[in-house]
Amino acid sequence: MENSYAEDISQVKSILTDARSVLILTGAGISAESGVPTFRGGGGAPVWRGMPFEQLSSAEMVEKDLPLVWEWFDYRRNLVGECEPNAAHQVLATVQQSERFSDFSLVTQNIDGLHQGAGASDVIELHGSIWQASCLSCKTTQSLREIPEDERPPICPECFDSMRPDVILFGEAMPVQAVYGAQKKAEKCDVCIVVGTSALVYPAAELPLIAKQSGATIIEINQEETGLSSQANISLRGKAAEVLPLIFAENDSPNLRLPENKKVGSLDS
């Protein structure tokens, strides 16, 4: 029989009471309520200046037209710069700072920097950061907050070659160190909470499975069913900014209002 939303929230809270090591994996959905554009939806393929997203954000375009890649990422960064972390980013940062769990790791596919904006630290950014540049030659990185926007492409302070956005682009390999770090966290967590990701692509899709194989409980928070739902122990169907504050609330408040009409599939496997 299907549990009610309230029952699932309390079950997750009780799982978290016993947890020591918690891994949070986030995707674009956690930033949806901050208004970060996804460049998806609307039916058609996302385009900017008539060019498909995949073509603009590609390793090939870095070689062909680096100034255009910068223009595109400056445009995106300025949009992201207008966005504020939401209650989901905030509660995760607060829990991390509270040291309630002996290990609390944040791994994200997002490049928007909103976890850090909320005060989180040591975030593993699987796809890089829109706030950082990296050198084409020596890979030195530098914060774009320190580089004026008219310096395009930015020049590497170490070797004086050009720099590019420090983001994993289409056609590029994943950053080995970040992926390895995330896999190690997945192997040793007791609870893995997957928030706002369709969890379709490697390595994000693999992390909850590694955690599960290592005995962890998998909790999914997503408005929709995903490829991971059948593997999750509990799937909470709701918005990240509503659900995360509820599950991390330390005590049940009599005034706690649950979103109405929420149904969840609770899958014990």
Q: Which residues are catalytic?
A: 127
Backbone angles phi, psi at 166, to 5 degrees: -85, 65
Residue 31 interacts with, from Zn ion, ligand NAD, none (CB under 5-8 Å by kind) = ligand NAD
Kindly state whether residue 157 participates in binding Zn ion, applying the rule CB under 5 A.
no
Indicate the residue among 15 and 80 with the shorter CB distance to ligand NAD. Answer: 80
Q: Near Zn ion by CB under 5 A, which window of 49-57, 64-72, 138-146, 244-252?
A: 138-146
Question: Which helix (H) or strand (E) segment is 91 a member of?
Answer: helix 87-98
Q: Near ligand NAD by CB under 6 A, which window of 43-51, 169-177, 184-192, 217-225?
A: 217-225
Kindly state whether residue 249 participates in binding Zn ion, applying the rule CB under 5 A.
no
Beta carbons of 211 and 189 less than 8 angstroms apart = yes
Kindly state whether residue 96 participates in binding ligand NAD, applying the rule CB under 6 A.
no
Question: Which helix (H) or strand (E) segment is 41 a member of?
Answer: none
Computed on alpha carbons and rounded to an integer, the radius of gyration of the chain in Å comes to 19
Q: Near ligand NAD by CB under 6 A, which window of 95-103, 152-160, 194-202, 249-257?
A: 194-202
Q: How many residues bind ligand NAD (CB under 6 A)?
A: 24
Q: Which of 119, 120, 116, 118 is nearest to 130 (CA)?
A: 116
C-alpha distance from residue 208 to each of 95, 125, 184, 214, 219 (Å): 20, 16, 12, 10, 9
Helix (H, G, I), strand (E, B) or coil at 183: helix
Helix (H, G, I), strand (E, B) or coil at 115: helix
Least distance (Å) between residue 156 CB and Zn ion = 3
Indicate the residue among 7 and 158 with the shorter CB distance to Zn ion. Answer: 158
Please select the residue that binds ligand NAD; options are 11, 226, 231, 235, rule is CB under 6 A: 226
Q: How far is it, in rounded angstroms, from Cα 157 to Cα 145?
A: 15
Query: Where do contacts with ligand NAD occur on this chain (CB under 6 A)?
Result: 27-29, 31-33, 36, 38, 40, 109-112, 127, 196-198, 221-224, 226, 239-240
